Amino acid sequence: MDSKRKEVLVLEDILGSNKKIASSIRQKLLEHQILAVNLLSSPGSGKTSLLEKIGQKLQGKYRVGVVEGDVETERDAERIRKIGLPAWQITTHGACHLEAKMLARIFDQIPADLDFLFIENVGNLVCPASFDLGESLRFVLLSVPEGDDKPKKYPEAFITSQVFVLTKCDLLPYLPFDRERVVKEALEINPKLKVFETSAVTGEGIEELCAFLESELEKRRVKNA
């Protein structure tokens, strides 16, 4: 067997076993009626900052928890704990994405009575797109400083997501960035994407995003009642 074929078979095996673990996680989340959101983006696009804003808005009314995926350090989990939310850090020690088996290992620590579980993936716009974590919704984030040409260069993250969050919109006046182009191109890749424009600095779009999350939670609970 040539080495290329061997590589394909190994990858199929990894993705196949990931899929099985992801479906068992999805089943458990469904039983506990937890809405899980997997956040994908390049490093530094503002995932943790967005979660700090969303977490602050939802806590009090809802039980919220966060899983933080990083190659090294517990820094993001510490940021989330600082705002009063439980956070579980997964350090991958080199892997550029989270896999379902990593989430499965810590799943017993996650309280069954959560309403929302946010999973911040490792900062990377490529590999995380191929790994289902059993999430209910996938968000892809792109920040204004990254440039308006990115959706078509990194299509998989946009194809597999239900929500596109354009972050750092407070920087729009200072950078050459065609907001209409980026939204148009993202929708050409995936016409079903729901688009939100946010800023963790000014708070723009946070209320709308939280209202969407609340409505998704309620919709799913009614459907599964």
Residues 193, 190: Cα–Cα separation, whole Å: 6
* CB-based contact 67:117 (threshold 8 Å): yes
Question: Given the complex with ligand GTP, which of 174 and 224 has the nearer CB atom?
Answer: 174
Please tell me what DSSP assigns to residue 219.
H
Q: State how far the Cα of 48 lies from the Cα of 53, in Å rounded to an integer.
A: 9
Q: Which of 57, 64, 76, 138 binds ligand GTP (CB under 6 A)?
A: 76
Binding characters for Mg ion, 46-65, by CB under 5 A (x = yes): -xx-----------------
Q: Give CA–CA dist 106/142, Å, rounded.
A: 28
As measured in angstroms, the least distance from the Cβ of 104 to ligand GTP is 22
Decide: is 18 part of the binding site for ligand GTP (CB under 6 A): no
Q: Does 41 bind Mg ion (CB under 5 A)?
A: no
Selected binder of ligand GTP within 74, 170, 214, 220 (CB under 6 A): 170
Q: State how far the Cα of 185 lies from the Cα of 176, in Å rounded to an integer.
A: 17
Member of 37, 58, 69, 76 binding Mg ion (CB under 5 A): 76
200 is a contact residue toward ligand GTP (CB under 6 A): yes
- The one segment of 12-20, 40-48, 172-180, 202-210 that binds Mg ion by CB under 5 A: 40-48
Contact, 134 vs 25, CB < 8 A? yes
Using CB under 6 A as the binding rule, whether residue 38 contacts ligand GTP is answered as no
Return the one option of Mg ion, ligand GTP, none that residue 43 interacts with (CB less than 5 to 8 A, by type). Answer: ligand GTP
74 forms part of the interface with ligand GTP (CB under 6 A): no
Q: 155-190 burial, b if ≥16 CB within 10 A, otherwise e?
A: bbbbebbbbbbbbbbeebeeeebeeeebbebbeebb
Question: Which chain residues interact with ligand GTP by CB under 6 A?
Answer: 41, 43-49, 76, 123, 167-168, 170-171, 199-201
The contact set with Mg ion (CB under 5 A) reads 47-48, 76
